[in-house]
Protein backbone atom coordinates (compact mmCIF):
# COMPACT_ATOMS: atom_id res chain seq x y z
CA UNK A 1 0.00 0.00 0.00
CA UNK A 2 1.56 3.31 -1.05
CA UNK A 3 1.77 6.38 1.18
CA UNK A 4 -1.03 8.19 -0.64
CA UNK A 5 -3.46 5.37 0.06
CA UNK A 6 -2.28 4.96 3.64
CA UNK A 7 -3.26 8.53 4.34
CA UNK A 8 -6.73 8.20 2.84
CA UNK A 9 -8.29 8.40 6.30
CA UNK A 10 -7.04 11.94 6.74
CA UNK A 11 -6.57 13.28 3.24
CA UNK A 12 -9.49 15.06 1.60
CA UNK A 13 -10.22 16.25 -1.91
CA UNK A 14 -9.92 19.95 -2.81
CA UNK A 15 -13.70 20.11 -3.08
CA UNK A 16 -14.23 18.62 0.38
CA UNK A 17 -11.63 20.96 1.86
CA UNK A 18 -13.29 23.91 0.18
CA UNK A 19 -16.72 23.03 1.55
CA UNK A 20 -15.26 22.45 5.01
CA UNK A 21 -13.41 25.77 4.92
CA UNK A 22 -16.55 27.61 3.88
CA UNK A 23 -18.33 26.45 7.01
CA UNK A 24 -16.09 28.76 9.06
CA UNK A 25 -16.59 31.80 6.81
CA UNK A 26 -19.50 34.14 7.35
CA UNK A 27 -21.11 32.17 10.16
CA UNK A 28 -20.60 31.92 13.91
CA UNK A 29 -19.78 28.55 15.50
CA UNK A 30 -22.28 27.10 17.92
CA UNK A 31 -20.90 26.45 21.40
CA UNK A 32 -23.10 24.55 23.89
CA UNK A 33 -20.92 25.87 26.74
CA UNK A 34 -22.09 29.39 25.92
CA UNK A 35 -25.68 28.27 26.52
CA UNK A 36 -24.75 26.85 29.92
CA UNK A 37 -22.98 30.08 30.86
CA UNK A 38 -26.01 32.07 29.75
CA UNK A 39 -28.25 29.85 31.87
CA UNK A 40 -26.00 30.25 34.91
CA UNK A 41 -25.98 34.02 34.60
CA UNK A 42 -29.70 34.20 33.90
CA UNK A 43 -30.67 32.12 36.91
CA UNK A 44 -27.96 33.14 39.34
CA UNK A 45 -28.21 36.88 38.81
CA UNK A 46 -32.00 36.87 38.83
CA UNK A 47 -32.18 34.84 42.04
CA UNK A 48 -29.49 36.83 43.84
CA UNK A 49 -30.85 40.27 42.91
CA UNK A 50 -34.44 39.34 43.72
CA UNK A 51 -33.53 37.87 47.09
CA UNK A 52 -31.29 40.79 48.01
CA UNK A 53 -34.17 43.12 47.14
CA UNK A 54 -36.55 41.09 49.34
CA UNK A 55 -34.04 41.03 52.21
CA UNK A 56 -33.37 44.76 52.09
CA UNK A 57 -37.06 45.45 51.63
CA UNK A 58 -38.05 43.48 54.73
CA UNK A 59 -35.24 45.16 56.70
CA UNK A 60 -36.40 48.59 55.51
CA UNK A 61 -39.95 47.79 56.60
CA UNK A 62 -38.68 46.65 60.03
CA UNK A 63 -39.90 43.10 59.47
CA UNK A 64 -38.66 40.38 61.82
CA UNK A 65 -35.84 38.04 60.90
CA UNK A 66 -38.27 35.10 61.07
CA UNK A 67 -40.54 36.78 58.51
CA UNK A 68 -37.52 37.60 56.35
CA UNK A 69 -36.28 34.00 56.31
CA UNK A 70 -39.74 32.53 55.75
CA UNK A 71 -40.54 34.93 52.92
CA UNK A 72 -37.09 34.42 51.44
CA UNK A 73 -37.24 30.64 51.40
CA UNK A 74 -40.75 30.67 49.93
CA UNK A 75 -39.62 33.06 47.19
CA UNK A 76 -36.48 31.01 46.54
CA UNK A 77 -38.40 27.78 45.96
CA UNK A 78 -41.26 29.20 43.92
CA UNK A 79 -39.16 31.45 41.72
CA UNK A 80 -36.50 28.80 41.09
CA UNK A 81 -39.17 26.43 39.78
CA UNK A 82 -40.78 29.25 37.82
CA UNK A 83 -37.49 30.30 36.21
CA UNK A 84 -36.73 26.70 35.25
CA UNK A 85 -40.16 26.37 33.65
CA UNK A 86 -39.70 29.64 31.76
CA UNK A 87 -36.31 28.47 30.48
CA UNK A 88 -37.84 25.19 29.28
CA UNK A 89 -40.77 26.84 27.48
CA UNK A 90 -38.56 29.56 26.01
CA UNK A 91 -36.04 27.16 24.50
CA UNK A 92 -38.91 24.87 23.57
CA UNK A 93 -40.30 27.71 21.48
CA UNK A 94 -36.90 28.08 19.81
CA UNK A 95 -36.92 24.36 19.02
CA UNK A 96 -40.45 24.52 17.59
CA UNK A 97 -39.48 27.53 15.47
CA UNK A 98 -36.42 25.69 14.12
CA UNK A 99 -38.42 22.57 13.25
CA UNK A 100 -41.14 24.63 11.54
CA UNK A 101 -38.55 26.54 9.50
CA UNK A 102 -36.82 23.29 8.56
CA UNK A 103 -40.08 21.77 7.34
CA UNK A 104 -40.76 24.88 5.28
CA UNK A 105 -37.33 24.81 3.68
CA UNK A 106 -37.67 21.11 2.90
CA UNK A 107 -40.99 21.75 1.17
CA UNK A 108 -39.51 24.61 -0.85
CA UNK A 109 -36.65 22.38 -1.99
CA UNK A 110 -39.24 19.85 -3.17
CA UNK A 111 -41.47 22.39 -4.95
CA UNK A 112 -38.95 25.03 -6.08
CA UNK A 113 -35.57 23.27 -6.39
CA UNK A 114 -34.07 25.75 -8.88
CA UNK A 115 -34.76 28.74 -6.63
CA UNK A 116 -33.30 26.96 -3.62
CA UNK A 117 -30.30 25.82 -5.67
CA UNK A 118 -29.63 29.45 -6.53
CA UNK A 119 -29.75 30.26 -2.82
CA UNK A 120 -26.93 27.79 -2.22
CA UNK A 121 -25.01 29.27 -5.15
CA UNK A 122 -25.45 32.78 -3.78
CA UNK A 123 -24.30 31.70 -0.32
CA UNK A 124 -21.06 30.16 -1.54
CA UNK A 125 -20.42 32.86 -4.12
CA UNK A 126 -20.48 35.37 -1.26
CA UNK A 127 -17.74 33.29 0.41
CA UNK A 128 -15.45 33.74 -2.60
CA UNK A 129 -16.20 30.57 -4.58
CA UNK A 130 -16.45 31.00 -8.32
CA UNK A 131 -16.26 29.22 -11.63
CA UNK A 132 -15.97 25.46 -11.76
CA UNK A 133 -15.30 25.10 -8.04
CA UNK A 134 -18.53 26.95 -7.23
CA UNK A 135 -20.45 24.69 -9.59
CA UNK A 136 -18.96 21.60 -7.94
CA UNK A 137 -19.75 22.84 -4.42
CA UNK A 138 -23.36 23.60 -5.35
CA UNK A 139 -23.73 20.24 -7.08
CA UNK A 140 -22.22 18.38 -4.14
CA UNK A 141 -24.49 20.02 -1.55
CA UNK A 142 -27.71 19.86 -3.57
CA UNK A 143 -27.16 16.18 -4.36
CA UNK A 144 -28.03 15.39 -0.72
CA UNK A 145 -31.40 16.73 0.47
CA UNK A 146 -30.49 16.67 4.15
CA UNK A 147 -27.22 18.51 3.56
CA UNK A 148 -29.08 20.94 1.31
CA UNK A 149 -31.65 21.74 4.00
CA UNK A 150 -29.01 22.06 6.72
CA UNK A 151 -26.97 24.42 4.56
CA UNK A 152 -29.95 26.73 4.08
CA UNK A 153 -30.85 26.55 7.78
CA UNK A 154 -27.32 27.35 8.93
CA UNK A 155 -25.89 29.61 6.24
CA UNK A 156 -28.98 31.58 5.18
CA UNK A 157 -31.33 31.53 8.18
CA UNK A 158 -28.58 31.21 10.82
CA UNK A 159 -30.67 28.79 12.87
CA UNK A 160 -29.19 26.02 15.01
CA UNK A 161 -31.08 22.88 16.08
CA UNK A 162 -32.19 22.67 19.72
CA UNK A 163 -32.06 19.12 21.05
CA UNK A 164 -34.68 17.84 23.48
CA UNK A 165 -32.05 17.07 26.11
CA UNK A 166 -30.82 20.65 25.84
CA UNK A 167 -34.23 21.87 26.99
CA UNK A 168 -34.06 19.80 30.17
CA UNK A 169 -30.44 20.76 30.76
CA UNK A 170 -31.20 24.48 30.45
CA UNK A 171 -34.22 24.16 32.74
CA UNK A 172 -32.16 22.31 35.35
CA UNK A 173 -29.22 24.74 35.20
CA UNK A 174 -31.48 27.80 35.44
CA UNK A 175 -33.44 26.28 38.35
CA UNK A 176 -30.31 25.35 40.30
CA UNK A 177 -28.55 28.65 39.57
CA UNK A 178 -31.63 30.62 40.64
CA UNK A 179 -31.87 28.68 43.89
CA UNK A 180 -28.18 29.17 44.68
CA UNK A 181 -28.46 32.85 43.83
CA UNK A 182 -31.40 33.19 46.22
CA UNK A 183 -29.52 31.57 49.07
CA UNK A 184 -26.46 33.86 48.97
CA UNK A 185 -28.16 36.94 50.54
CA UNK A 186 -30.41 35.03 52.94
CA UNK A 187 -27.95 32.58 54.56
CA UNK A 188 -26.25 35.31 56.69
CA UNK A 189 -29.60 36.00 58.40
CA UNK A 190 -29.75 32.37 59.49
CA UNK A 191 -26.37 32.65 61.26
CA UNK A 192 -25.58 36.21 62.32
CA UNK A 193 -27.30 39.15 63.99
CA UNK A 194 -29.34 41.53 61.83
CA UNK A 195 -26.73 44.27 61.28
CA UNK A 196 -23.91 41.84 60.51
CA UNK A 197 -26.21 39.83 58.26
CA UNK A 198 -27.14 42.91 56.19
CA UNK A 199 -23.48 43.80 55.68
CA UNK A 200 -22.56 40.24 54.76
CA UNK A 201 -25.55 39.87 52.45
CA UNK A 202 -24.56 42.96 50.46
CA UNK A 203 -20.85 42.07 50.48
CA UNK A 204 -21.35 38.44 49.42
CA UNK A 205 -23.81 39.51 46.72
CA UNK A 206 -21.34 42.05 45.35
CA UNK A 207 -18.54 39.46 45.31
CA UNK A 208 -20.76 36.89 43.61
CA UNK A 209 -21.97 39.37 40.98
CA UNK A 210 -18.43 40.58 40.28
CA UNK A 211 -17.20 36.99 39.97
CA UNK A 212 -19.96 36.15 37.49
CA UNK A 213 -19.07 39.22 35.43
CA UNK A 214 -15.38 38.29 35.42
CA UNK A 215 -16.09 34.67 34.51
CA UNK A 216 -18.40 35.76 31.70
CA UNK A 217 -15.76 38.07 30.22
CA UNK A 218 -12.99 35.48 30.57
CA UNK A 219 -15.11 32.71 29.03
CA UNK A 220 -16.56 34.74 26.17
CA UNK A 221 -15.12 38.16 25.36
CA UNK A 222 -14.69 41.57 26.96
CA UNK A 223 -12.79 43.34 29.70
CA UNK A 224 -13.18 41.41 32.97
CA UNK A 225 -13.01 44.52 35.15
CA UNK A 226 -15.68 46.35 33.19
CA UNK A 227 -17.88 43.27 33.04
CA UNK A 228 -17.53 42.66 36.79
CA UNK A 229 -18.29 46.26 37.74
CA UNK A 230 -21.28 46.38 35.40
CA UNK A 231 -22.71 43.22 36.93
CA UNK A 232 -22.30 44.61 40.46
CA UNK A 233 -23.79 47.99 39.51
CA UNK A 234 -26.85 46.45 37.86
CA UNK A 235 -27.45 43.92 40.63
CA UNK A 236 -26.94 46.17 43.63
CA UNK A 237 -28.72 49.03 41.89
CA UNK A 238 -31.85 46.91 41.41
CA UNK A 239 -31.70 45.69 45.01
CA UNK A 240 -31.23 49.25 46.29
CA UNK A 241 -34.32 50.31 44.37
CA UNK A 242 -36.32 47.61 46.17
CA UNK A 243 -34.96 48.87 49.49
CA UNK A 244 -35.96 52.47 48.73
CA UNK A 245 -39.47 51.47 47.67
CA UNK A 246 -39.99 49.41 50.84
CA UNK A 247 -38.63 52.26 52.93
CA UNK A 248 -40.97 54.71 51.24
CA UNK A 249 -44.02 52.53 51.88
CA UNK A 250 -42.99 51.96 55.47
CA UNK A 251 -42.55 55.70 56.06
CA UNK A 252 -45.89 56.48 54.42
CA UNK A 253 -47.70 53.77 56.40
CA UNK A 254 -46.29 54.97 59.69
Q: Could you tell me if residue 88 is inside a domain?
A: yes
Please state the φ and ψ torsions of residue 16, each to the nearest 5 degrees. -65, -40
Q: Could you tell me if residue 1 is inside a domain?
A: no
Q: Does the structure show a pLDDT above 50 at 24?
A: no
Cα three-residue angle 128-130-132, rounded to 5 degrees: 145
Greater model confidence, 100 or 160: 100
Q: Does the structure show a pLDDT above 80 at 10?
A: no
pLDDT average, residue stretch 195-214 = 91
Q: Could you tell me if residue 212 is inside a domain?
A: yes
**Structural domain containing residue 124:** 32-249
pLDDT of residue 30: 45
User: What is the band of 5 on the pLDDT scale with cuts at 50, 70, 90?
Assistant: very low
User: Whole-structure pTM over 0.85, yes or no?
Assistant: no
Q: Does the structure show a pLDDT above 50 at 50?
A: yes
Greater model confidence, 159 or 11: 159
Residue 98's nearest CA partner among 162, 24, 14 is 162
Q: Could you tell me if residue 4 is inside a domain?
A: no
Q: Could you tell me if residue 131 is inside a domain?
A: yes
Q: Does the structure show a pLDDT above 70 at 22?
A: no
pLDDT average, residue stretch 30-57 = 78
Q: Could you tell me if residue 237 is inside a domain?
A: yes
Q: Could you tell me if residue 217 is inside a domain?
A: yes
Q: Could you tell me if residue 24 is inside a domain?
A: no
Mean confidence (pLDDT) of the chain: 81
For the chain, what is the domain count?
1
Amino acid sequence: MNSANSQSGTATSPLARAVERSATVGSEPHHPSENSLRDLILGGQDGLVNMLGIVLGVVAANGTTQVLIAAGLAAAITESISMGAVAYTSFGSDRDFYLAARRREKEEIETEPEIEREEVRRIYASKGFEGRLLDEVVEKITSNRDAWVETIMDEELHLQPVEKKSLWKSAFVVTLATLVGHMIPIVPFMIFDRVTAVILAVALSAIALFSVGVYSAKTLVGDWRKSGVQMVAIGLGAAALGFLIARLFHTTAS
